[in-house]
Amino acid sequence: MNADPVAFFRSVASSHERCCWLDGGGAREWSGRRSLVGWLAPEDVSLTYDAAARLVTRHANGRAEVVGDDPFVVLEAELAAGSPTDQWFGYFGYACRPDLPASYGSGLPDAVWMRPSQVRLFDHEVLGHFTRFSGTAEAQKFRDTRSTGYPWDAPSTYATAFQQVQEQLHAGNSYEVNLTYRMATQSDLDPVTAYLRLRELNPAPYAGFVQHDVPGARAWLLSSSPERYALVGADRTLETKPIKGTTPRGATVAEDEELRRQLASDPKTRAENLMIVDLLRNDLSMVCEPGTVEVPTLMDVESYESVHQLVSTVRGRLRPEVTTVQALRALFPAGSMTGAPKLRTMQVIEDVEETPRGPYAGAFGWISADGRADLGVVIRSLMTAGDGRYLLGTGGGITVRSDVDGEWAESHWKAERLLAALASWSGDDDG
């Protein structure tokens, strides 16, 4: 459809308490050329999950009913009971597997899934600006590190957590830990306006918006994620694209190419990426047919508005008895957001991180009753309960070769576009 998707999205969000926009089509060659706006009528069903209480709640017609204690199990039951053409849209937060260690209590639902009865698709062209050089500020700070040290000194809370992680690494309890933290900021921007600014500043293949404005379960997720969590195709091929390794874009073509080359060849970064690839090969082997798990792309550099990323692809074919939701649960949470080995490293994360991750580090996208699905990892995203307080998570993989100030600086590069989207604004708001 050729109508303006932005104007249409504004109209839908202003008139429907529950809606979504999957907006990332065309950001990469592999991400498609369609975006989707969906909205729910009062009688349509949505699900939310509270990890602290371990309760899944079903919302419809203004009523809320507790229907289970595992959001994956409840969502699968809803898919089985509905129409073969049903599609669900939403997110699983980091603490959505009750059998795995994770802190909870972010103030937002740990999962939101919605089944809209109304969906509108928009076709669009692949936009050329996804490869332009706009990382000047980030690149300047990166250059400064070579002559004057890192532009930010790690605060004591982060330095303490970093040291605790190093102790676990040296003790052999983990090979790599994804150490993250949360930032909170106040903004007078409403979530719709904030998202429209974010999509201009940081376009990404898993850009999208979730609005669940329901009393007791309010959540807005504003995603600009570049990372694929899982794609399940009609042929039951399962694919994930973990990201490990980030560097800012250069201010010139020459500098940009040099930063790209350094990322691709850095031994520490390559080791981080390889460890996560091995973890995901193991995860996929638990649900895929023997002999089908492969790594068609190892450590390719993908370039975005503000950063280069080192990305690998792991792929396999699901076993006949494994459903899509079961496969998504088996992979959850994304290995790139935990470290390796997954269970022991999640225990380390629970001990050292000061705040719960909430939706951050989970998975966001769509799941269809016909078995297809496409979800991104919840990174480079803003979250709010609609009260003017926005949360974001950031961080990175820590190995024995990591430097505390360097890791802290990288976490800021990843967060800058999110904070810029919420900065004070005057004049016409065009992003």
Report the catalytic residues: 227, 244
Where in 291-398 does DSSP place strands (E)?
294-303, 307-317, 339-340, 363-368, 373-377, 381-384, 389-398
Pairing of strands 294-303, 46-50: unpaired
Instruction: Give whole-number Cα distances, 48 to 90, 127, 230, in Å.
Output: 10, 34, 21
**Torsion over CA of 50, 51, 54 and 57, rounded to 10 degrees?**
20
3-state secondary structure of 391: strand
Dump the DSSP string for 150-214: -SSPPPHHHHHHHHHHHHHHHTTS-SEEEEEEEEEEE-SS-HHHHHHHHHHHS--TEEEEEEE--
CA angle 208/299/327 to nearest 5° reads: 55
3-state secondary structure of 313: strand
- Name, in order, each residue with C-beta under 8 angstroms of 263's C-beta and a sequence gap of 6 or more: 245, 246, 247, 269, 301, 308, 309, 310
What are residue 264's phi and psi, to 5 degrees?
A: -65, -25
CA distance 377 to 143: 29
CA distance 299 to 273: 7
Conformational region of residue 277, where left means phi above 0, alpha means psi within -120 to 50, and beta covers everything else:
alpha
**Nearest residue to 232 via CA among 309, 307, 116, 329:** 329
Could you tell me if 95 and 51 are in contact, meaning their C-beta atoms sit under 8 angstroms apart?
A: yes
- Cβ atoms within 10 Å, residue 183: 15
Q: Which helix (H) or strand (E) holds 16?
A: none
Residue 72, CA atoms < 13 Å, CB-side half-sphere: 20
Angle between the 267-285 and 324-331 helix axes, to the nearest 10 degrees? 140
Dump the DSSP string for 124-145: -PPPGGGGS---HHHHHHHHHH
